[in-house]
């Protein structure tokens, strides 16, 4: 029981990647964002989606949102989260993940890809 309590108090690390995120990186970071967010009483996970340079389809943002939402619900069906679309990013499309109101990290998406293309289970 003490081990569980110690684990619950530790903040897990977000993998920082400056290039397009792989399926495994996306899953890893979402898992730990949810874990870290659950450690903060009353916190809501915030995901901000930004299209990248050369991406123009709002359908792409919706596909990315659906993938992220499905994965979060798979991991924790009762988890509180908010997703929003924001201004375009100059480079690759990205998703900013905020835990407890602070930027936990960013996930960069391959151009015109949902982020889940290579990891459909």
Q: How confident is the model at residue 1 (pLDDT cuts 50, 70, 90)?
A: very low
pLDDT per position as a tens digit, 35-93:
899 899 999 999 999 999 999 887 999 999 998 999 899 888 888 999 999 999 898 99
Q: How confident is the model at residue 29 (pLDDT cuts 50, 70, 90)?
A: confident
Q: What is the pTM of this model?
A: 0.81
Q: Does 2.30.30 match the CATH number of domain 12-109? A: no
d(CA 90, CA 8): 37
Taking the chain, what is the end-to-end CA distance rounded to the nearest angstrom?
34
């Amino acid at each position: 029981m003490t081990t569980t309590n110690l684990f619950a108090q530790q903040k897990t690390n977000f993998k920082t990647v400056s290039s397009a995120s792989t399926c495994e990186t996306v899953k890893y970071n979402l898992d730990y964002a949810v874990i870290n967010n659950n450690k903060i009483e009353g916190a809501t996970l915030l995901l901000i989606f930004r299209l990248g340079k050369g991406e123009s389809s709002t359908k792409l943002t919706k596909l990315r949102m659906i993938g992220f939402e499905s994965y979060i619900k798979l991991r924790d069906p009762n988890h509180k989260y908010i997703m929003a679309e924001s201004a375009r990013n100059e480079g690759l499309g990205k998703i900013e993940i905020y835990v407890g109101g602070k930027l936990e990290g960013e996930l960069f998406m391959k151009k015109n890809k949902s982020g889940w293309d290579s990891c459909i289970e």
